[in-house]
Amino acid sequence: MRVSLLLCSLFATALTASAADLPAWSSWRGPSQNGVSPERFVDYSFPEKPSWTYKQQGRGTPVILDGRLFSFSYKGKGEELVEYLTAHDAVTGDVVWQHKIHDFISDTVYGRYAIGAPTIDPETKKVYLMTTHGVFRCYTFDGVLEWEISMMERFGRLTFPNGRAGSALIEGDLVIVRGITAYWGKQGPARDRFFGFDKKTGELVWASTPGIGPKDSSFSTPIFETRDGMRVFYVGTGCGQLVAVNGRNGEPLFRFPMSFGGVNSSPVIYKDTVIAIHGKENLDSSEEGRMVAVRIPKFTPGAEQQVLGKESEVWRNGLVMFSSSPVLVGDRLYQLTKTGTLACVNADTGEIIWEEKLSNSNLHSSPIYADGLLYVPMNDGALHVIRPSDEGIDTLAKLELEGSCLGAPALYNGHLYVHTTKMLYAFKLGQTAITASAVSSVEIPKPGKAAALQIVPNDVLLRQGVSQEFRVRKVDVNGFVVGEANPAELEWASFIPPTAKVKAKMDATFEGGKLIVSDKAKTSAGAFMAKGEGLKGIVRGRVLPSLPYTEDFESYALTADASDGAKFSFPPLSWIGARFKFDIREQHDTKLFAKTLDRVLFQRATAFIGDPDLANYTLQADVMSEGNRRSKMDVGLVNQRYAIVLKGNYNQIEISSNHERLKRSVPFQIKANAWYTMKSSVERNADGSGTVHAKVWLRDTEEPAEWTFSLELPYVHEKGAPGLFGFALQNQMKVFIDNVSITSNK
């Protein structure tokens, strides 16, 4: 590490106040949600070298509580790349505990991992993390996994090459995460959605769709305030909007369209405006990017989401930035731009007071502010310590760190922490005493009169022969809990929304407030409405079969009209990621599961057809690709988070879990328009190693005794939802699947 100190004072022995008296840096933007630390220092100086370093690759922000630092990182290359959640002693850097998290079925490329940050709940000390591939986990402070949700397999979360994971957010009893999902029913179309989970149990409380069709993924982290009797969060979306959402019930409040691409920066709240920045083409001009202040409208609970226009702009300027977030100090905004400049902006008028060049470019990193100083990390690995004023900047220090800075620093108990793509750094600031200014307390409105029922969990996934109990809460119009309701005393009935295009019911019944799924229930999805004391609430659910399971598609009525004039049926609602990507149609006097060709966006598609917690099973299906000797498509299965695919044009059987990380193949001659039977199984040993097996043969011929391809791995996934895969390159030709079966290996 090269260090050039432009201004240096003697390094003093620290006489700090108790860390317990200091606000925790428990989320990536700090205790005030805007990158500002409340800590103040007597006899401040910046050190010439770090107090400790830890070799790990990261692109986010470490978080700290009660002397413990938590970092999100990754190590290794190729098949050995693994993400980590690590707990360190914040003073010494010693590792207290560490958990590996393996990628699966994602399209993340170029090592774009750990683009996010953990979040700590100061009340419970639980640690939350969303991985790059969409596994949402909750750990205790001491590293015990409490619960996890595979957002991909459970709610249809999509992955993207840029790997943006983002950060969870704590709000009361909720932990809120986001992602672009394609689920079922009203939540079926791909949209940028937010999910509020019970922070202790992991049960879904609400899901919200405040935007429109996404153009990009976004990892903008919401910021909260109390307004008009609500707890409101503001955030950028992958559909180029700035949105406001009621954080207690997920009700969308407004959206402000601003960009042809995603809005990745986190906004800030200033007086009665919310200020955001983006770096794509503007919707209302050909110019690239803008920083804009949007007037916050009056919020009315239960009202239709407001769509704000240009009249809501208080000001805009021409600053351009893709994902760096502004710092708000008083009435001054400090913003990095894509050209590597640091800008000071008047938050009242949008006037750019000054711009100072720090580097040639910067796309992602964000500064923080503490005790009159800005700590500004840059993409080129430089960390600038700057004293800003309305006249410009005074640079106290510039350090050249190893790797690139893509996240934001964190400051806690007189230590500055910076993560780069090579190293985690800790700098012990020189000072003789630490004090802290008060952080504004959160104003929580008092609950009003009960107006609705909130059913927890709000969405369930059940197998045949399983029952589900619920907690039912009475909430006011703003989503605040008023009291509890006894589920057994409520009236429960199937509910089909009037706007539903598919009139479907969940094959289950309520008895004594408990949802019962018989052992002969059909694969299905639907909703129930609860009524009592003049209040209503809705719960959604899916029923999946227990093993063994078979599906030949012959029972489906082909009543819908396809664009090519053929009749078809939509896939089962309970199959995640199938709708619009696949349909059921008749071919050669039999009904088949077919890859659709009318949306190029969906040329590559995976449909999850089972429970994410399934393990140790065999998945089998008949598959076929249209084409000719020179042009064939890809078709296959997903077993326990591994894709087993017939690669038509390559004449291969391929096993993969991420094409950049794990992809192996063997030669296998594939004929177009010929039916093959595929079988797959995953064998996991006690030490975590195991083997992925694949077998392929021409249908209607004898099954081979041996596996066609067996891939031994030092680590295999413990569980995963079975799925079906199809890839119709540029939608040239269809692939078909039939006679699906899933059987237990035990």
Q: Give the count of alpha carbons within 13 A of 633, CB side only.
A: 28
**Is 633 a residue whose pLDDT tops 60?**
yes
**Is 91 a residue whose pLDDT tops 80?**
yes
Per-residue confidence at 553, pLDDT binned at 50, 70, 90? very high
Distance between CA atoms of residues 382 and 637, nearest Å: 46
Question: Is the Cα torsion angle 707, 711, 716, 719 positive or negative in sign?
Answer: negative
**pLDDT at residue 5, as a whole number:** 37
Q: What is the mean pLDDT of the chain?
A: 93
**Is 719 a residue whose pLDDT tops 90?**
yes
**pLDDT at residue 13, as a whole number:** 36
- Residue linked to tokens 């099973």: 617
Token pair belonging to 516: 């019962």
Token pair belonging to 85: 């959640």
pLDDT digits (tens, 9 = 90+) for 2-21: 333 333 332 333 334 566 67
Question: What 3-state DSSP class applies to 487?
Answer: helix
Per-residue confidence at 661, pLDDT binned at 50, 70, 90? confident
579-586 own/partner pairs: CB under 8 Å, 24+ apart: 579/182, 579/184, 579/188, 580/188, 581/605, 581/607, 581/726, 582/607, 582/724, 582/726, 584/553, 584/556, 584/558, 585/558, 586/558
In contact, 400 and 381? CB cutoff 8 Å: yes
Task: Give me the phi and psi of 151, to 5 degrees please.
Answer: -60, -30
Closest CA to 66 of 134, 133, 14, 120: 120
Closest CA to 51 of 418, 542, 540: 418
For residues 431-443, give the mean pLDDT. 91
Distance between CA atoms of residues 275 and 267, nearest Å: 5
In contact, 276 and 242? CB cutoff 8 Å: yes
**pLDDT at residue 327, as a whole number:** 97
Pick the range with the lowest mean pLDDT from 93-97, 390-394, 434-438, 523-527: 434-438
Distance between CA atoms of residues 266 and 224, nearest Å: 11
Closest CA to 716 of 685, 676, 739, 746: 685
CB atoms within 10 A of CB 105: 24
Q: Give the count of alpha carbons within 13 A of 381, CB side only.
A: 12
For residues 548-553, give the mean pLDDT. 96
pLDDT digits (tens, 9 = 90+) for 454-510: 999 999 999 999 999 999 999 999 999 999 999 999 999 999 988 877 788 999 999
Single-letter residue type at 121: D
For residues 342-353, give the mean pLDDT. 98
Q: Characterise 396 by phi-psi region: left (phi > 0), alpha (psi -120 to 50), beta (else).
A: alpha
**pLDDT at residue 278, as a whole number:** 96
In contact, 526 and 496? CB cutoff 8 Å: yes
Q: What value, to the nearest 5°, has the Cα angle with vertex 475 and ends 154 and 504?
A: 40
Closest CA to 576 of 540, 624, 630, 612: 612
Q: What is the DSSP string of 22-54?
A: SPPB-STT-TTSSSEE-EEEES-B--SS-SEEE
Q: What is the DSSP string of 579-647?
A: BTTEEEEEETTEEEEEE--S-GGGSEEEEE-S-TT--SEEEEEEEEE-B-SS-B-EEEEEETTEEEEEE
Domains defined along the chain, listed by start: 452-544 (2.60.40.10), 549-744 (2.60.120.560)
Q: Is the peptide bond before 548 cis (omega within 30 degrees of 0)?
A: yes
Q: For the whole prediction, is pTM greater than 0.85?
A: yes
CA-to-CA separations, 223 to 539, 600, 656, 698, in angstroms, rounded: 28, 35, 38, 56
Query: Is residue 253 exposed (0-12), middle (13-18) or buried (19+ Cβ within 10 Å)?
Result: buried
Pick the range with the lowest mean pLDDT from 165-174, 369-378, 727-736: 727-736
pLDDT > 70: what percent of the chain?
Answer: 97
CA-to-CA separations, 620 to 495, 551, 642, 644, 681, in angstroms, rounded: 35, 11, 14, 11, 9
Question: Is the Cα torsion angle 498, 499, 500, 501 positive or negative in sign?
Answer: positive
For residues 573-578, give the mean pLDDT. 92
**Is 730 a residue whose pLDDT tops 90?**
no
Distance between CA atoms of residues 294 and 311, nearest Å: 9
Closest CA to 636 of 691, 593, 678, 692: 678
Q: Of all helices (H) and strands (E), which one includes residue 85?
A: strand 82-89
Distance between CA atoms of residues 625 and 743, nearest Å: 25
Longest Cα–Cα distance of the chain, Å, equals 86
Q: What is the DSSP string of 368-425?
A: EEETTEEEEE-TTSEEEEEEEETTEEEEEEEEE-SS---S--EEETTEEEEE-SSEEE
Single-letter residue type at 241: Q
Task: Provide the edge-to-edge strand list for the sheet that holds 514-516.
Answer: 467-468, 514-516, 509-511
Question: What 3-state DSSP class applies to 186?
Answer: helix
Token pair belonging to 612: 């994410």
Token pair belonging to 474: 């009475």
Helices assigned H by DSSP within 108-255: 151-155
The end-to-end CA distance of the chain, in Å, is 56
For residues 444-457, give the mean pLDDT. 97
**pLDDT at residue 2, as a whole number:** 39
Token pair belonging to 86: 């690590």
Q: Which residue has the higher pLDDT, 3 or 107?
A: 107
Question: What 3-state DSSP class applies to 494?
Answer: strand
pLDDT digits (tens, 9 = 90+) for 222-240: 999 999 999 999 999 999 9
Token pair belonging to 717: 């996934």
Distance between CA atoms of residues 569 and 137, nearest Å: 36
In contact, 406 and 437? CB cutoff 8 Å: no
Query: Is residue 387 exposed (0-12), middle (13-18) or buried (19+ Cβ within 10 Å)?
Result: middle
Distance between CA atoms of residues 168 and 219, nearest Å: 10
Question: What 3-state DSSP class applies to 719?
Answer: coil
